[in-house]
Chain A
Amino acid sequence: KQEVTQIPAALSVPEGENLVLNCSFTDSAIYNLQWFRQDPGKGLTSLLLIQSSQREQTSGRLNASLDKSSGRSTLYIAASQPGDSATYLCAVPVGSEKLVFGKGTKLTVNP
Chain B
Amino acid sequence: DAGVTQSPTHLIKTRGQQVTLRCSPKSGHDTVSWYQQALGQGPQFIFQYYEEEERQRGNFPDRFSGHQFPNYSSELNVNALLLGDSALYLCASSSARAGETQYFGPGTRLLVL
Q: Do chains A and B interact in one complex?
A: yes
A-side interface residues toward B, CB under 8 Å?
Answer: 4, 32, 34, 36, 41-46, 49, 89, 91, 95-104
Q: Given contacts A41-B109, A46-B104, A101-B44, list 11 more A-B pairs with CB under 8 A.
A: A41-B107, A46-B101, A89-B42, A97-B45, A98-B33, A98-B48, A98-B56, A99-B33, A100-B45, A102-B42, A104-B42
Smallest CB separation, A28 vs chain B (Å): 19
B25 part of interface (Cβ distance < 8 Å): no
CA distance A45 to B43 in the complex (A): 13
Taking a contact as CB atoms under 8 Å apart, the answer to whether A103 and B56 are in contact is: no
Q: Which interface class (under 10, 10 to 19, 20 to 34, 35 or more) fits B? A: 20 to 34
B-side interface residues toward A, CB under 8 Å?
Answer: 4, 33, 35, 40-45, 48, 55-56, 58, 88, 90, 92, 96, 99, 101-107, 109
Taking a contact as CB atoms under 8 Å apart, the answer to whether A49 and B101 are in contact is: yes
CA distance A101 to B103 in the complex (A): 14
CA distance A8 to B35 in the complex (A): 23
Taking a contact as CB atoms under 8 Å apart, the answer to whether B105 and A43 are in contact is: yes
Which residue of B has the minimal Cβ distance to A36?
B104
Taking a contact as CB atoms under 8 Å apart, the answer to whether B43 and A44 are in contact is: yes
Smallest CB separation, B72 vs chain A (Å): 16
Top 7 closest pairs, chain A to chain B, by CB = A101-B42, A98-B45, A97-B56, A44-B104, A43-B106, A97-B48, A43-B104
Chain A-chain B contacts (Cβ-Cβ < 8 Å), number: 55
CA distance A18 to B104 in the complex (A): 28
Taking a contact as CB atoms under 8 Å apart, the answer to whether A4 and B99 are in contact is: no
Q: If A49-B101, A96-B99, A98-B48 touch, does A103 touch B106 (CB 8 Å cutoff)?
A: no
Please name all residues of chain B whose beta carbon is closer than 8 Å to the beta carbon of A32 when the two chains form the complex.
101
Please name all residues of chain A whose beta carbon is closer than 8 Å to the beta carbon of B109 when the two chains form the complex.
41
Please name all residues of chain A whose beta carbon is closer than 8 Å to the beta carbon of B101 when the two chains form the complex.
32, 34, 46, 49
Out of B58, B99, B106, B107, name the residue touching A98 (CB < 8 Å).
B58
